[in-house]
Amino acid sequence: MNEDEFMEHLILSGALEVAAIDMDNNEPLYRFTDKLKDVAPELQKDMFTYFYTDVMTLWEHGFVEVDLDSDDPVVSLTDKALNSDEVNSLDKQEKSTLKEIIRILNEEL
């Protein structure tokens, strides 16, 4: 299965959905759903690892607070995460991860 076929499989199975449109190039931005763990568990594991690494980078640079002593760590935003000049200093992947954290936190409200 090539990359396009795999993406189509993920979309049709409900493991991948369009989240937004990239303002820079008008291409769709995707996000994984909870179904990913059933449809492609290895990919889900890899994506969790990448996301965790990005969260730790954001924490190291002061964009998020992480309660590392908890069995279920809580992530919260700092003032720096809401400062557009500071956010613009992040690379594209880090910005994407920060946006995803903000989206998740907003869903929890």
Summarised one tens digit per residue, pLDDT across range 53-109 is 999 999 999 999 998 777 788 899 999 999 999 999 999 889 989 988 998 888 776
Kindly report, residue by residue over 13-31, the tens digit of the pLDDT: 999 999 888 888 898 888 8
d(CA 27, CA 46): 23
For the segment 32-43, the average pLDDT, to the nearest whole number, is 95
Whether this prediction's pTM lies above 0.75 is answered by: no
Q: For the chain, give every domain's residue range.
A: 1-39, 41-109
43: left (phi over 0), alpha (psi -120 to 50) or beta: alpha
| 3 state SS of 22 | coil
Burial category of 94 from C-beta neighbours within 10 Å (exposed 0-12, middle 13-18, buried 19 and up):
middle
